[in-house]
Structure 1
Amino acid sequence: MSSLVRALGVPIGVVGILLLLIVPIPAPLLDVLIIINILFALVILLTTMFVTKPLDFSVFPSLLLVATLFRLGLNVASTRLVLGEAHAGAVIEAFGTVAVGGSLIIGAVVFLILIVIQFVVVTKGAERVAEVGARFTLDAMPGKQMAIDAELNAGLITEEQAKERRATVAAEADFYGAMDGASKFVKGDAIAGIIIIIINIVGGIAIGMAQMGMEIGEAVETYTLLTIGDGLVTQIPALLMAVSTGMIVTRSTADEQMGTTASRQLVQSRQALMIAGCAAIAMALIPGMPPLPFLIVGASLLLIALRLRRAERSDALAATAAEAAEAPAAARDSPEQLIEQMRVHALEIRLAPDIVDLVTGGPDDLLGRVRALRRTIALDLGIVVPPVRTRDSVELPSGTYVIRVAGVEAGRGVVPAGRVLALGDRLDSLPGTPITEPVFGLAGRWIAAELRHAAELAGATVIDRTSVVITHLSSIVQSHAARLLSREDVRVLTEGVRGVSPSAVEELTPSLLSLAEVQRVLQALLAERVPITDLARIYEALALRARASTDAEGLVEAARTALGPVIAERHREGGVLRVVMIDPLLEQSMLEGLRPSELGSQIVLDPARIEQVIASCQSVVRQAVDRGLDPVVVCAPALRSAVRRLLSPHPDGVAVLSYQEASAAGGEIETVGVIRGAETIAS
């Protein structure tokens, strides 16, 4: 029953509002509807203050239309009573009497001031903010979608989380677009209210004198009183709705209600409160100024600043005590601790002392995000990322973090405390430190966390500090996956395969290949971003190849052939594999120049011609990337390893597949370019 009432309440209410425009209603019923209108506007205003983000009140644009229509219906009903009976109920009469206060001129001035406040200040400002918010929200949609795709590809979020975030981005764009249009309702309501007031006064005086036989003074007093009362009971809810509109479009997405956020941020600077308090006391000493109000306000500000200072000291003492309680009982120079400090960790993140808050817990705790990243990498590449050690380092500059792989620095970045990273092209108007994002090379700017909403309105994509570190760590882990795969990891993985496919393991190791040789093959696959999740199939392919030869390059190619469909599928876009071919004459020359070596097969050609081949490949790939494509180079199976070794050290490196790998999974193959020895021909 309650669900039925909720579903039919609004439609029935809209039908009732339409009836107000047609059917006359008695004055007592009008009093009840006016009270409902005022309280309805008040509830909406308070709701906008208590929501944590605008999308929590996504029905606001529709409610704004309903409330506007409700007020206009009441205006029509009250106008009918005012002009027809010279009486419109007790509420309108009471409002008119209070506003007039014994003087029609004072009442009229007060009423006009209310109209100016609503129409010129609140309504105009809310309309402009809604318009700008809608424009910048729509401009920011592509960047936000790219950020979601980047986090999904980096493994920071799941597919379900990505879908949820995309839906949120779309809902946000719809909301601000609707608010841009709904703000016109507020403006039109204000204009309609002014016109109705003029009609009531002029028409009422004419009807009072012509039909009711009133003197002009009596007619002016009667109808002005009723018109001011009618205007107040409709303009006050209209003002509340205009304030609600401005409140909802100026709210930034936060985790707290507006009151909590405002009270916390207003007292975040003890120095500002102290200066303001001293200024208030100084103003009390100015001759002619009332000293008592200034002294009360100034003393209150100084008292708040003093309490903040005590709270800061208490927090500092508590932090010191916590560090002392967590300190190990053993001395820092004990053999155990020295051995632990000497040990080289596979993965390590070092943080400057001012950003150790990243690992202090909370929803964006770095350690929790690292655990989620390890699971994502394991499902994507098939390796178990070793535990990541985090520690602080006084040697690092302020706000800096360093990622180390096997004791060697692999990446470095900056995540200043109290700031967020804004990525976009129109950030010059925002105060902050410009940087280049370390993973994707995007231009960005570190801005104060309080400017997040302003940056989003400017079309920027805003990323928190923890996400920046995790994205960088994910990129480094995938680039160094081969180094991170240890001999012990291979043993653990092999035992896992033994549990589900014992024959594949027993046939391969140790009879045909040792764990060291298996590790070498798996590392070669990971070096080319080939997942090793299907270890049973890899081991079966290695066993077949190892019976003929244990050459490392041949073993790697045998494993890749077994994984051909998986490799090709990772490079498909929309079911299409974009490939760059090698000119047949050039490919034949490469086959003739193929020579074995200790490091694997190599192509022996004239150095100038080798440089031409590399330049041609880079040009073709760059042209394809500029068209929004992600191509791969395909060649004969015998050449694949040598071509990959030839192209990998150079910029704009590209994946190299054999003909069998490219066609293993079927599907459409599109040629986007041809590599030649002296020039490039792109299709």
Structure 2
Amino acid sequence: MGNKAGFGIGGFVLLSVVMFIIPIPSVLLDVLLAVNLSLAMIVLFNAMFSKEALDMSSFPTILLFTTIFRISLNISSTRLILRTGDPGNVVRTFGQFVGGGDLIVGIIVFFILVLVQFIVINQGSERVAEVSARFTLDAMPGKQMAIDADLNTGALTDEQAKEKRQKIQDEASFFGSMDGASKYVKGDAIAGLIISVINFAGGIALGVLQRGMDVNTALSTYSILTIGDGLVSQIPSLLISLATGVLVTKVSKEADLGDILVKQLFSIPRVLFLVGGAMIFFGVATPLSTVIFVPMGLAFLLSGWKMSKNLGEEEIESEVIAEEEAAEEVRKPENVNSLLQVDSIELEFGYGIIPLADVNQGGDLLDRVVMIRRQIAIELGCVVPIIRLRDNIQLNPNQYVIKIKGVPVSEGEILFDHYMAMNPGYVEEEITGIPTFEPSFNLPAIWITESQRERAETLGYTVVDPPSIIATHITEIVRRHIWELLTRQDVQNLIDNIKDKDQALISELVPKLLSVGEIQKVLQNLLRESISIRDLVTILETLADYATTTHDTDVLTEYVRQGLKRAISNKYFPPNETTSVVTLDPKIEQEIMNSVKQTEQGAYLTIDPAVAQNIMDSLKIEIDKLDKLGKVPIVMTSPIVRMYFKKLTMDYFADLIVLSYNEVESNVELQSVGMVTI
């Protein structure tokens, strides 16, 4: 079907070009003129009954093809008029019938048609297309942001968001093309007018000079043919112009043009009553025809009465239907499947925070959530699941709760129209406010008003607005829990992203050496300690190297960490600086290794609880030393001990950084400021 249609369009364009060069007989011209008229009507009615402009996205191309076809017909008819004086039945009939046999009337009708098309329809359609193109392009960024916001709130799925983005691009392309294509119709009208003048002048000259006609006969013959030729091309052109205007002014996407016009013009009974009364008044109180105006006014009054009666019945029916649907909904068994779905990340907030999330009220929380997902993707190399935003009337007005897989993990409370001011440590002069704690890091802070903001910033306070507080809190929670949000499907998507470029690596590793689930465990181990998995190729290369010797995901994680030592060193050790760290007593390392038990499921620690507590107490002392120096606590261990020591300390010091010497670049300078001993 597609090939046949393609050949048909190609033949149509080729025929138009051929008619520029080769004369065609008048009978064939009659057929082609009839085709031209029918095509114009097809285009017009399609434009009228399409639901939206994009239903005829190929309209600019249609304009081009129909314009070149009409011009080729114009040239063919001009050739026949000037050479033989017989352009066929269609042209002659249009010239005689439209003018009613009167030459002057025919000329006037022809020029009125040209003026209506050129000045009214063409100019208006061209202007509307130009403005539509401009506004569509200007609105693209806002529409894209609205789609991102709907995607993050769960109002749209990924596929729906993709379709909407594509539709926005299609609309921009369509109206941009229409802005240029409307010039075809305008040029066609001008060309038709010029060709008509040439036909008229050239025909009279040829008739008098070559065919021996007198002036009156030549004038009568060629003026009728010229008018017929002009009308037979201008009428289809007028229909196409009208279709252009209908398409670019179409605004509704819910019904066709006829339904909209009837509904919007004749849907209010009061309007019909007023019109009917006015028409009767004109028929009775003025010299206007009573026979015409009074019956018409009565018809409007009757229509308005029937419409008001129908509207009352429709309201009653709609109320009954609504009650029946509500009752049916109550009787219907609950859809349990919808209750089983658990969102990965949720932000629930009280009604006082709604303005921060409502775009119509100037809130930008949705945009900030979009930026959080982008920031985490760049920082840690994985895609954050959609963050659902929901209001919850059960919460306090200014309270919000962050949930991971349906379980609350953190919460906070803000004061609307206030700012949070935090002392970075060097501010001496205090500012008055409401004491509170920053929710992300539990730091002491105070709430201040808008009028105090400038002074607080001058004194050196860090001042943050409520949306930034919530966004920072969500970001920290996502960083902390991103490892448990990474699913097998996410891992498969990450693998698919690099499959084309590193096909040999993927085919060797998955599933021959490791399953997707085992790779997931390794990536989760890395993310749990805030190690970026963005360099996935290096991670998978390392796994391919060592998966032949072990399938223990903890051991494989250590090999991967060593393969990522450049990134780890860059993350924790600033260049050209000596970093203060804490080391581990070799006796403790030996104690830990003696407590490791190997099983088929992996290794675990069986260290004596009293010994473990002594290690934690010593570690607390050393961490406090680094805190007093303003340094980030980092503990250095031997490679074989690192993962076991990290597991041992995780319940006591969740954010403690534990690194092995094999994860540090050779050019990094370390300074031990203490040792964990027992």
Would the TM-score normalized by the shorter structure come out above 0.5?
yes
Name the aligned partner's letter for residue 76 of structure 2: A
C-alpha deviation, 1:72, in angstroms: 0.5
Aligned to 2:242: 243
**CA distance in 2: counterparts of 1:40 and 1:328, whole angstroms:** 53
Aligned to 2:141: 142
- Judged with a 3 Å threshold, the aligned counterparts in structure 2 of structure 1 residues 54 and 325 are, in CA distance, closer, same or farther, namely closer
Aligned to 1:351: none
Q: Could you give the per-residue CA deviations for residues 225-252 of structure 1, whole angstroms, max 9, x where no partner exists?
A: 0000000000000001111111111112
Aligned to 2:441: none
Query: Does structure 2 conserve the Cα–Cα contact (< 8 Å) formed by 1:93 and 1:226?
Result: yes
C-alpha deviation, 1:155, in angstroms: 3.1
Name the aligned partner's letter for residue 228 of structure 2: G
**Structure 1 SS opposite 2:390:** helix
2:362 equivalent among 436, 456, 467: 436
**CA distance in 1: counterparts of 2:179 and 2:404, whole angstroms:** 53
Aligned to 1:100: 99
Aligned to 1:11: 10
Query: Does structure 2 conserve the Cα–Cα contact (< 8 Å) formed by 1:373 and 1:474?
Result: no
**CA distance in 2: counterparts of 1:75 and 1:535, whole angstroms:** 67
**CA distance in 1: counterparts of 2:234 and 2:304, whole angstroms:** 40
**CA distance in 2: counterparts of 1:200 and 1:441, whole angstroms:** 64
**CA distance in 2: counterparts of 1:133 and 1:45, whole angstroms:** 20
Aligned positions of 1:80-99 closer than 5 A: 80-99=79-98
Q: Could you give the per-residue CA deviations for residues 107-166 of structure 1, whole angstroms, max 9, x where no partner exists?
A: 111110000000000011111111111122122222222222232333332332222222
**CA distance in 2: counterparts of 1:603 and 1:110, whole angstroms:** 99
User: Which deviates more from structure 2 when the two are superposed, residues 159-168 or residues 205-214?
Assistant: 159-168
**CA distance in 1: counterparts of 2:46 and 2:135, whole angstroms:** 25
- Judged with a 3 Å threshold, the aligned counterparts in structure 2 of structure 1 residues 103 and 474 are, in CA distance, closer, same or farther, namely same
Q: What RMSD, in angstroms, separates the aligned Cα atoms of the two structures? A: 5.1
Name the aligned partner's letter for residue 55 of structure 2: D
- Judged with a 3 Å threshold, the aligned counterparts in structure 2 of structure 1 residues 89 and 151 are, in CA distance, closer, same or farther, namely same
**CA distance in 2: counterparts of 1:275 and 1:93, whole angstroms:** 48
- Judged with a 3 Å threshold, the aligned counterparts in structure 2 of structure 1 residues 561 and 10 are, in CA distance, closer, same or farther, namely closer
- Judged with a 3 Å threshold, the aligned counterparts in structure 2 of structure 1 residues 658 and 479 are, in CA distance, closer, same or farther, namely farther
C-alpha deviation, 1:106, in angstroms: 1.3
**CA distance in 1: counterparts of 2:18 and 2:326, whole angstroms:** 75
C-alpha deviation, 1:77, in angstroms: 0.6
C-alpha deviation, 1:272, in angstroms: 2.8
**Structure 2 SS opposite 1:473:** strand
Aligned to 2:46: 47
- Judged with a 3 Å threshold, the aligned counterparts in structure 2 of structure 1 residues 583 and 20 are, in CA distance, closer, same or farther, namely closer
Aligned to 1:652: none
Aligned to 1:227: 226
Give the percent of matched residue pairs that are identical in Structure 1 and Structure 2.
34
- Judged with a 3 Å threshold, the aligned counterparts in structure 2 of structure 1 residues 530 and 197 are, in CA distance, closer, same or farther, namely same
**CA distance in 1: counterparts of 2:226 and 2:282, whole angstroms:** 44
Q: Could you give the per-residue CA deviations for residues 564-599 of structure 1, whole angstroms, max 9, x where no partner exists?
A: 269666999xx9x999999999x989xxxxx9xxxx
**CA distance in 2: counterparts of 1:182 and 1:11, whole angstroms:** 20
User: Which deviates more from structure 2 when the two are superposed, residues 118-127 or residues 93-102?
Assistant: 93-102
Query: Does structure 2 conserve the Cα–Cα contact (< 8 Å) formed by 1:45 and 1:244?
Result: yes
- Judged with a 3 Å threshold, the aligned counterparts in structure 2 of structure 1 residues 526 and 202 are, in CA distance, closer, same or farther, namely closer
Q: Could you give the per-residue CA deviations for residues 656-675 of structure 1, whole angstroms, max 9, x where no partner exists?
A: 987679xxx99xxxxxxxxx
- Judged with a 3 Å threshold, the aligned counterparts in structure 2 of structure 1 residues 183 and 580 are, in CA distance, closer, same or farther, namely farther
**CA distance in 1: counterparts of 2:313 and 2:70, whole angstroms:** 54
Query: Does structure 2 conserve the Cα–Cα contact (< 8 Å) formed by 1:154 and 1:471?
Result: yes
Aligned to 2:108: 109
Aligned to 1:481: 403
- Judged with a 3 Å threshold, the aligned counterparts in structure 2 of structure 1 residues 11 and 322 are, in CA distance, closer, same or farther, namely closer
C-alpha deviation, 1:84, in angstroms: 1.0
- Judged with a 3 Å threshold, the aligned counterparts in structure 2 of structure 1 residues 186 and 148 are, in CA distance, closer, same or farther, namely same
Aligned positions of 1:134-533 closer than 5 A: 134-322=133-321, 375=341, 378=343, 380-381=344-345, 409=351, 411-412=353-354, 435-437=361-363, 439-440=365-366, 473=390, 479-481=401-403, 485=407, 530=482, 532-533=484-485
**CA distance in 1: counterparts of 2:239 and 2:246, whole angstroms:** 10
**CA distance in 1: counterparts of 2:5 and 2:101, whole angstroms:** 45
Query: Does structure 1 conserve the Cα–Cα contact (< 8 Å) formed by 2:95 and 2:231?
Result: yes
- Judged with a 3 Å threshold, the aligned counterparts in structure 2 of structure 1 residues 560 and 191 are, in CA distance, closer, same or farther, namely closer
Aligned to 2:56: 57
Query: Does structure 1 conserve the Cα–Cα contact (< 8 Å) formed by 2:189 and 2:237?
Result: yes
User: Which deviates more from structure 2 when the two are superposed, residues 37-46 or residues 159-168?
Assistant: 159-168
C-alpha deviation, 1:605, in angstroms: 10
C-alpha deviation, 1:290, in angstroms: 1.6
C-alpha deviation, 1:636, in angstroms: 4.6
Name the aligned partner's letter for residue 191 of structure 1: I
1:118 aligns with 2:81: no
Query: Does structure 2 conserve the Cα–Cα contact (< 8 Å) formed by 1:51 and 1:57?
Result: yes
Aligned to 2:66: 67
- Judged with a 3 Å threshold, the aligned counterparts in structure 2 of structure 1 residues 14 and 529 are, in CA distance, closer, same or farther, namely same
Name the aligned partner's letter for residue 157 of structure 1: L
Q: Could you give the per-residue CA deviations for residues 252-298 of structure 1, whole angstroms, max 9, x where no partner exists?
A: 25022222222223334333333233222332233211233333433
C-alpha deviation, 1:304, in angstroms: 3.1
**Structure 1 SS opposite 2:285:** coil
Query: Does structure 1 conserve the Cα–Cα contact (< 8 Å) formed by 2:348 and 2:402?
Result: no
C-alpha deviation, 1:603, in angstroms: 12
- Judged with a 3 Å threshold, the aligned counterparts in structure 2 of structure 1 residues 283 and 151 are, in CA distance, closer, same or farther, namely same
1:564 equivalent among 521, 524, 527: 527
**CA distance in 2: counterparts of 1:282 and 1:187, whole angstroms:** 44
**CA distance in 2: counterparts of 1:187 and 1:130, whole angstroms:** 13
**Structure 2 SS opposite 1:79:** helix
Aligned to 1:132: 131
**Structure 2 SS opposite 1:101:** coil
Looking at CA atoms only, which structure, 1 or 2, has the larger radius of gyration?
2
**CA distance in 2: counterparts of 1:261 and 1:657, whole angstroms:** 63
Name the aligned partner's letter for residue 362 of structure 2: T
C-alpha deviation, 1:437, in angstroms: 4.4
Query: Does structure 1 conserve the Cα–Cα contact (< 8 Å) formed by 2:266 and 2:272?
Result: yes
**CA distance in 1: counterparts of 2:367 and 2:194, whole angstroms:** 57
- Judged with a 3 Å threshold, the aligned counterparts in structure 2 of structure 1 residues 99 and 534 are, in CA distance, closer, same or farther, namely closer
Name the aligned partner's letter for residue 290 of structure 2: P
Aligned to 2:620: none
**CA distance in 2: counterparts of 1:146 and 1:250, whole angstroms:** 26
Aligned positions of 1:654-665 closer than 5 A: none
1:31 aligns with 2:30: yes
**CA distance in 1: counterparts of 2:200 and 2:29, whole angstroms:** 20
Query: Does structure 1 conserve the Cα–Cα contact (< 8 Å) formed by 2:199 and 2:222?
Result: yes
Q: TM-score, normalised by structure 1?
A: 0.56
C-alpha deviation, 1:409, in angstroms: 4.0
Aligned to 1:449: none
Query: Does structure 1 conserve the Cα–Cα contact (< 8 Å) formed by 2:626 and 2:633?
Result: no
Q: TM-score, normalised by structure 2?
A: 0.56
Query: Does structure 1 conserve the Cα–Cα contact (< 8 Å) formed by 2:356 and 2:364?
Result: no
Q: Say how many residue pairs are matched.
A: 455
**CA distance in 2: counterparts of 1:602 and 1:317, whole angstroms:** 75
- Judged with a 3 Å threshold, the aligned counterparts in structure 2 of structure 1 residues 294 and 39 are, in CA distance, closer, same or farther, namely same
Query: Does structure 1 conserve the Cα–Cα contact (< 8 Å) formed by 2:29 and 2:77?
Result: yes
**CA distance in 2: counterparts of 1:122 and 1:26, whole angstroms:** 34
C-alpha deviation, 1:483, in angstroms: 11
**Structure 2 SS opposite 1:212:** coil
**CA distance in 2: counterparts of 1:126 and 1:159, whole angstroms:** 36
